[in-house]
């Protein structure tokens, strides 16, 4: 009896366990169905839903949706998908397992619902570059697993919630380019893991909070606000700080000498405030090997420019203008061999003596002082005249010579009908001659061609500005990239504008977009490019009709064109040029579907004598993984981005899910090669299969997590240029991804050119 009772008891336990498991499974299936219904109710995936009956997990196959094995949604990623709808249509409370939410550049509007605080497992939140309004919900403070919050480039208003101070896992906080008001919460000082704090271009007021506990901060961007009070001394304790931007505020007091303790500081911008006192010598003593960009212009600083500025051997840009500085310009400036920009504008009390630009390294300023005495012998007088001539040739042209030239041209045009007619003919003639003559000559033509930049002439827009199509009187059609008014006043965009002009003016390649000219007008700034009829590669792949035009041969040709352009930039230019933002958005197509690399605003000339450290630039999803822990930029960053774009061209969309299963040693997810093909195109021919396999093999090699094992672009370019007489024996329908993942570190040694490029 006892044995039978025991057996019965065990059977009861089994029955209860099975019932409980079925209940859990049923509950999970029900929850998955609930999530699917929540996605359906938005209408954002309407074109992906078939009319026949589908399984409960089918939503896991929709674009931008990633689920776990139980069918629960883990990620919603619709970056750059055109939605133009209310963000509140997505019922956030329906996704308790959600870890990633990326709805950036989707055209969303409305306010962020308070229910977003119910996403308790959310780690990444990006609503960047939309048209969101209203306040930031305090419920964001409930999302304690968050690593990234990015709501920049919106129209959000109200206060920065103090509840954000409880997000102890937060690494990046991007709230810039909004209309936020009030004080910066002191609670942000509790974010010990915070590395990136971007609150610029808002209406924030009050003091800068104490952030001394934020020991991992690398970037502080608080410019273009109304912040007041002193610069906190505690900032000097942030030993990892790489960039400090506090420009265009109402800050007062002295520049803290404690900033000299920031040994890794590369970028310091305190311009356009009301700072007084002298420039602390300590900044130049301790930051001498790291500091590249210094802007203290537009303040009330007095005293001399410290001679120690010459110790900062890495300085490239120095702006000290519009202050009350006195004394002579330090002779040590001549030791700054990397200096490319020096602003000493409107320093009325400063001596006119400028150090010679060709002074050697290690210049002895004791000997040089004897040559600056204006009452010495004839040799001294000759030296003085030479220095004065240098002033006229370097500092004053922008202030004096250029206005005089403009005045002279205006007078000649006014009093000489013949010359005026010649200029009109030239203005309406060839674009190259227009811009070689005068960057502003064709301004009226541009205004008429775009109807004063009417929205109907706009063919694209982004964070940088808007792109317009313009048909000039000569019959030539060009594309104009015009900076928005706010961007034109922002130093970062101004630098990108000038950087793009500098790069594109010095290079020529058939697969790099041609820059016809630019305009620095007092009303607007714009670049003028060769017109690309088919727009960006991203848009072509996103539109089914256009994607069908891009057959396999054209797609392979696009990959080759990008490879040739990057090879030219990396290996044929001196110094080499790194683009830093290779993505499908920055590849343009002409009427023949040929590829052209564009948008060089973030590009960088590689200096063989420099560490080439810089701030992270690029587009999410295309940035090389090593840039997450190092700021060193080299050609291999472009190689990785090229690999992503090459896969995107073959797959027809960004390979986000595939990249997540891809490592430097093997492809974890076993998939056939044909699973990577864009299903909108017909089956490729044998020759096209050969080309596709070549593209995929090279793309996989480019995606190595170790940059030194990625192939050089010159190697890829030569591979694509070699024409095989016989198609490959490999079939994409019988070969797995693993079989063609020939990682360099496992199968061969590096070539000499690759070793040099690492």
Residues 555-575: tens digit of each pLDDT: 999 999 999 999 988 888 877
Burial (Cβ within 10 Å: 0-12, 13-18, ≥19) of residue 361? exposed
Burial (Cβ within 10 Å: 0-12, 13-18, ≥19) of residue 13? exposed
- C-beta of residue 213 within 8 angstroms of C-beta of residue 238: no
Q: Which pLDDT value is given to residue 186?
A: 92
Provide φ and ψ at 623, rounded to 5°: -80, 135
CA distance 514 to 531: 9
**How far are the Cα atoms of 78, 196, 315, 533 from residue 240, in angstroms, in the given order?**
34, 11, 19, 46
Q: Which pLDDT value is given to residue 494?
A: 61
**How far are the Cα atoms of 460, 466, 659 from residue 648, in angstroms, in the given order?**
21, 25, 11
Q: Highest mean pLDDT range out of 10-14, 18-22, 610-614? A: 10-14
For the chain, first and last CA: distance in Å? 79
Least confident range of 92-96, 607-611, 617-621: 607-611
Mean pLDDT of all residues in 210-239: 91
User: 28 or 8: whose pLDDT is higher?
Assistant: 8
Q: Which pLDDT value is given to residue 609?
A: 45
- C-beta of residue 555 within 8 angstroms of C-beta of residue 705: no
Run of H or E including 36: helix 2-42
pLDDT at 385 over 70: no
3-class DSSP assignment, residue 303: strand
CA distance 439 to 434: 7
What percentage of the chain exceeds 70 in pLDDT?
Answer: 70
CA distance 400 to 396: 6
Mean pLDDT of all residues in 504-513: 82
Provide φ and ψ at 446, rounded to 5°: -65, -45
pLDDT band at 672 (very low <50, low <70, confident <90, very high): confident
pLDDT band at 630 (very low <50, low <70, confident <90, very high): low
**How far are the Cα atoms of 110, 195, 739 from residue 744, in angstroms, in the given order?**
49, 33, 14
Length of the chain equals 758
For 121, residues 6+ apart whose C-beta sits below 8 A from its C-beta are: 96, 97, 98, 99, 145
Mean pLDDT of all residues in 636-661: 88
Q: What is the DSSP string of 482-516?
A: EE-HHHHT-HHHHHHHHHHHHHHHH---TTB--EE
Burial (Cβ within 10 Å: 0-12, 13-18, ≥19) of residue 68? middle
Q: What is the DSSP string of 424-472?
A: HHHHTS-HHHHHHH-TTTTHHHHHHHTTTT-GGGEEEE-SSEEEEEEE-
Q: Which pLDDT value is given to residue 165?
A: 93
Q: Say what the alpha-carbon torsion angle 165, 167, 170, 176 is, to the nearest 10 degrees.
A: -50
Q: Which pLDDT value is given to residue 484?
A: 59
Give buried/exposed letters for 597-632 (b at 16+ CB in 10 A, else e): bbbbbbbbbbeeeeeeebebbbbbbbbbebbeeebe
For 492, residues 6+ apart whose C-beta sits below 8 A from its C-beta are: none
Q: Is 85 a catalytic site residue?
A: no
Residues 119-154: tens digit of each pLDDT: 999 999 999 889 999 999 999 999 999 999 999 989
Closest CA to 368 of 328, 339, 340: 328
Run of H or E including 93: none
Catalytic residue selected from 581, 599, 638, 691: 581
Omega into 575 within 30° of 0, i.e. cis? yes
Specify binding-site residues for ATP.
481
Q: Which pLDDT value is given to residue 270?
A: 94
pLDDT at 606 over 70: no
Closest CA to 597 of 614, 581, 616, 574: 581
User: 737 or 393: whose pLDDT is higher?
Assistant: 737
Run of H or E including 635: helix 635-651
Average pLDDT across the chain, whole number: 76
- C-beta of residue 706 within 8 angstroms of C-beta of residue 625: no
């Amino acid at each position: 009896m006892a044995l039978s009772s025991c057996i019965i008891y065990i059977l009861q336990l089994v029955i209860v366990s099975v019932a409980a498991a079925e209940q859990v499974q049923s509950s999970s299936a029900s929850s998955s169905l609930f999530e699917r219904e929540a996605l359906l109710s938005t209408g954002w995936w309407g074109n992906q839903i078939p009319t026949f009956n589908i399984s409960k997990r089918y939503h896991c196959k929709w674009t931008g949706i990633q689920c776990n094995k139980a069918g629960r949604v883990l990620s919603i990623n619709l970056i750059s998908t055109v939605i133009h709808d209310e963000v509140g249509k997505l019922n956030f409370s329906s996704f308790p397992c959600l870890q990633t939410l990326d709805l950036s550049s989707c055209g969303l509007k409305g306010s962020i619902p308070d229910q977003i605080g119910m996403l308790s497992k959310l780690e990444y939140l990006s609503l960047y570059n939309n048209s969101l309004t209203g306040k930031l919900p305090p419920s964001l403070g409930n999302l304690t697993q968050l690593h990234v919050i990015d709501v920049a480039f919106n129209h959000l208003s109200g206060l920065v919630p103090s509840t954000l101070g409880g997000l102890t896992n937060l690494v990046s906080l991007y709230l810039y380019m909004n209309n936020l008001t009030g004080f910066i919460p002191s609670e942000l000082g509790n974010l010990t893991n915070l590395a990136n704090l971007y609150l610029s271009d808002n209406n924030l007021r009050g003091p800068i909070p104490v952030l001394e506990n934020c020991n991992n901060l690398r970037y502080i961007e608080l410019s273009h606000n109304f912040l007041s009070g002193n610069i906190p001394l505690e900032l000097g304790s942030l030993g990892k700080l790489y960039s400090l931007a506090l420009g265009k505020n109402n800050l007062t007091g002295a520049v803290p000498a404690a900033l000299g303790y920031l040994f890794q500081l590369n970028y310091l911008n305190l311009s356009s405030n009301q700072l007084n006192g002298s420039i602390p010598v300590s900044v130049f003593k301790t930051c001498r090997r790291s500091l590249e960009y210094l802007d203290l212009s537009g303040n009330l600083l007095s005293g001399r420019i410290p001679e120690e500025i010459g110790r900062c051997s890495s300085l490239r840009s120095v702006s000290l203008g519009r202050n009350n500085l006195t004394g002579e310009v330090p002779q040590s400036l001549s030791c700054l061999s990397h200096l490319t920009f020096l602003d000493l504008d409107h320093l009325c009390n400063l001596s006119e003596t400028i150090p010679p630009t060709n002074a050697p390294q290690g210049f002895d300023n004791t000997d040089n002082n004897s040559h600056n005495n204006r009452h010495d012998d004839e040799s001294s007088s000759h030296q003085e005249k030479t220095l004065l001539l240098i002033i006229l040739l370097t500092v004053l042209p922008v202030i004096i010579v250029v206005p005089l030239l403009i005045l002279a041209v205006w007078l000649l045009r006014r009093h000489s009908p013949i010359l005026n007619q010649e200029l009109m003919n030239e203005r309406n003639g060839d674009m190259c001659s227009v811009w070689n003559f005068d960057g502003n000559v064709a301004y009226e033509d541009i205004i008429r061609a775009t109807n004063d930049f009417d929205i109907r002439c706009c063919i694209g827009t982004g964070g940088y500005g808007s792109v317009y199509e313009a048909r000039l009187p000569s019959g030539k059609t060009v594309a104009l990239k015009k900076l928005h008014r706010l961007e034109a006043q922002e130093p970062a965009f101004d630098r990108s504008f000038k950087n793009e002009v500098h790069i594109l003016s010095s290079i020529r390649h058939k697969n790099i977009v041609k820059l016809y000219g630019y305009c620095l007008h007092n009303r607007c700034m714009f670049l003028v490019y060769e017109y690309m009829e088919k727009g960006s590669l991203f848009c072509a792949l996103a539109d089914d009709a256009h994607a069908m035009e891009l057959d396999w041969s054209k797609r392979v040709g696009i990959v080759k064109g990008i490879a040739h352009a990057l090879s030219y930039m990396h290996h044929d230019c001196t110094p080499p040029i790194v683009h830093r933002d290779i993505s499908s958005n920055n590849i343009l197509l002409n009427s023949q579907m040929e590829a052209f690399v564009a948008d060089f605003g973030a590009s960088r000339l590689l200096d063989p004598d420099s560490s080439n450290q810089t701030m992270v630039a690029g587009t999410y999803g295309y940035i090389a993984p090593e840039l997450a822990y190092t700021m060193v930029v080299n050609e291999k960053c472009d190689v990785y981005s090229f690999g992503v774009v090459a896969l995107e061209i073959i797959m027809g969309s960004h390979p986000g899910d595939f990249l997540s299963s891809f490592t430097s040693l093997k492809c974890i997810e076993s998939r056939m090669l044909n699973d990577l093909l864009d299903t909108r195109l017909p089956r490729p021919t044998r020759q096209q299969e050969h080309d596709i396999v070549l593209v995929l093999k090279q793309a996989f090699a480019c995606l190595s997590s170790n940059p030194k094992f990625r192939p050089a672009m010159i190697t890829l370019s030569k591979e694509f240029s070699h024409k095989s007489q016989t198609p490959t024996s490999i079939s994409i329908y019988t070969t797995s991804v693993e079989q063609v993942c020939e990682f360099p570190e496992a199968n061969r040694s590096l070539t000499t050119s690759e070793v040099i490029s690492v």
